[in-house]
Amino acid sequence: MDKERKKLLKKLCKAEVERRSQELKDQLKAANPADLSDADAWMANYKTGTRREQWLRKKLPTLHKKRLEELFVVHPCNSSGWFSAEGNYLQCEDCGSAVPSVSRARLIKYTGCRCRNIIYWRFFRWHCWKIRRRERVITVKLIGRG
């Protein structure tokens, strides 16, 4: 690896760490298990993870457990209860599904977790969350796996 590349990689890594809080370090390691000394593997993972996060932001999909774990590392937010904010997901601890906490749908939308603990409805300007077991729902952020 030449010097310039090493520099770039260091910069990227630093920016990435700064962008996210310190607490995310473990999850980042899980999201990108490649060692920093193996620049090619690390960069490839980084790109894959970033692509997945871009896709997530664009589509705001509901993800059920299997797909969720395949594509993302789940990072619980430290807040108590749940709150809606762009980029946050609500995870049902019973079935493991993650539902976007904010919907950009404008017309009709129906989504929810697999066990129907979390249900979201939108019908034009009317929308509603139905959460049966609130204590089993946590707010999470999703980090793209590389």
Binding positions for Zn ion, rule: CB under 5 A: 92, 94-95, 113, 115, 117
Under 8 Å between Cβ of 112 and 98: no
Residue nearest to Zn ion (CB): 92
Shortest spacing between CB 25 and Zn ion, in angstroms? 29
Token output for 1:
């690896």
Nearer Cβ to Zn ion (48/103) = 103
Under 8 Å between Cβ of 137 and 91: yes
Shortest spacing between CB 115 and Zn ion, in angstroms? 3
Nearer Cβ to Zn ion (88/117) = 117
Helix (H), strand (E) at residue 30 = helix 25-31
DSSP 82-94: ----TT-EEEETT
DSSP 69-113: HHHEEEEE-SSSS----TT-EEEETTT--EEESS----SEEEEE-
Nearer Cβ to Zn ion (20/109) = 109
Nearer Cβ to Zn ion (100/146) = 100
Shortest spacing between CB 63 and Zn ion, in angstroms? 12
Shortest spacing between CB 61 and Zn ion, in angstroms? 16
